[in-house]
Amino acid sequence: MKLAAILVHLNPVAIPGALLILIGLWGILARQNLFKIAVAFSILGTGVNLVILSVGYIRGRTAPILDGEAAVASMTDPVPQALVLTAIVIGLAVTALLLSYAVRLRSGGGGSSIEVHGDEKW
């Protein structure tokens, strides 16, 4: 009963987001392949973006675009949407760079496993 109340109260956008975050982190922390790590980052980023969006989510409301029909009162919170745009782009930038570094590391020899690229230590 109580569980049900909690579940109902939970944000339907945030939960998958959080899950994606955890999955992404799992990929980052447990996968060896550089490219898979980059992909895991994308997953993490997606999860975070979902969490951001979830904050702006209001049940039953529409996109915040004033096209005459939709009243201001029925719009969702536009701020997270604006923010997520930035987050997405930044995520993209990071992914691009990660991939570039992965390519460079692999092309320099040593393969795609992150374990072999650990000469600097201690």
Partner 1 sequence: MVNPLYLFAASLAAAFLLPLVDKLGRRASLALVYLVGLAWLAAAVSWLLALVQGGVAQDFGTAGFMAPLAIVLRVGLLEAAGVLAVAAVGLLSAAAMHASLRQAPAGGAMAFLMLLMGLCGVILTRDLFNLFVFLEISAIATYSLIGFDDRRPALRSAFKYMLAGGIASALYLIGVIYVYRFGDTLNLDLAIRAPGLAGAAGNAALFFLLAALLVELKPFPANGWALDVYQTAHPGLAAMLSGASATALLLALWKLLPLFGTAHLVIIAGSGLATFLAGNLAGARQRYTRRMLGYSSVAQIGLAMAVLALGTLFKLGSELFLLAVAGGFVLNHLLAKTGLFLLSAAFEQAGLTDAAGVDGVDVVDTVDDAAGASAAAQPARRLSPLALAVAGGLVLALVGLPPFPGFWAKWQLVQALADRSRWWLIGLILGGSLVEAFYMLRWLGRLVAARGAAPVPTLRLGAGLLGPAVAAVALAGLGVLSGVFGLTGALDPKAGSTLASLAGEPWLWAPWAVAAVLFLLDWLPGWLKGLLALGAVAAFAWLVQDRLDGLRQIFAIMLLGGGGLFIVAALRKPGSRGGLHPLLAMVTLSLGAVLLAETRLGFFFAWETMTLSSWLLVRRGQASRQPALSYIVFGLGGAFLLMVGLAAGGFDSAGAWPSGALASWPFLLALVGILVKAGALGLHVWLPGAYAEADDESSGLLSASLSKAAVFGLFALVLSRGIPGSLSISLGAIGGPWLWRALGWVGLATALAGALYAVWQEDIKKTLAWSSMGQIGYIILAFALMDQAGWTASLYLAFNHFLYKSMLFLAVAGVIQRVGTRNMYEMGGLIKKMPVSFLTVLMAIIALSGVPPLTGFGGKWLLYSSLIAKGWYLEAAVAFFASGVAFLYLYRLIHSIFLGQPKLNQSGVREAPLALIAPQLLLMGVLMALSVFPKLLLDPILEITSRVFPPTLGFSGDALVSPLGYWNGTLTMIVTGGVFALCLLWLVINLRNSQGVRQFNIVFAGERPLRPETTHYAWRFFEPYRQAVGGLVRSRAERFWVLVGGGVSAVGGALRRLYTGNGQTYALHVVMYVVVLYLVMGVVL
Partner 2 sequence: MMRRYLVGLILIGLAFALFPLLRQAGVAEAPGPLASAYLENSADDFGAANVVTAIVVSYRGFDTLGEVAVLFAATAGVGTLLTRRRLGKAVPPPGRQGGTEVLETASRLLAGLLIMFGAYIFIHGHLTPGGGFQGGVVVAVALLLGLLAKPDAQVSHRVMTTLESLSGAVYVGLGLLGIVLAGGFLDPRALPLGVVGQLFSAGSIPLIYSMIGLKVGAELSGIIDALKGDRS
Question: Judged by CB under 8 A, which stretch of 2-10, 64-72, 91-99 contacts partner 1?
Answer: 91-99
Q: Is 3 in the site for partner 2 (CB under 8 A)?
A: no
b/e per residue, 39-52, with b = 16+ CB within 10 A?
bbbbbbbbbbbbbb
Q: Is 26 in the site for partner 2 (CB under 8 A)?
A: yes
Question: Judged by CB under 8 A, which stretch of 2-10, 59-67, 68-76, 99-107 contacts partner 1?
Answer: 99-107
Residue from the set 4, 6, 60, 118 that interacts with partner 1 by CB under 8 A: 118
Partner that binds at residue 7, options partner 1, partner 2, none, CB closer than 5 to 8 Å by kind = none
Separation of alpha carbons 119 and 122, rounded Å = 10
Amino acid (one-letter) located at 26: W
Q: Which two tokens stand for residue 23?
A: 């999955």
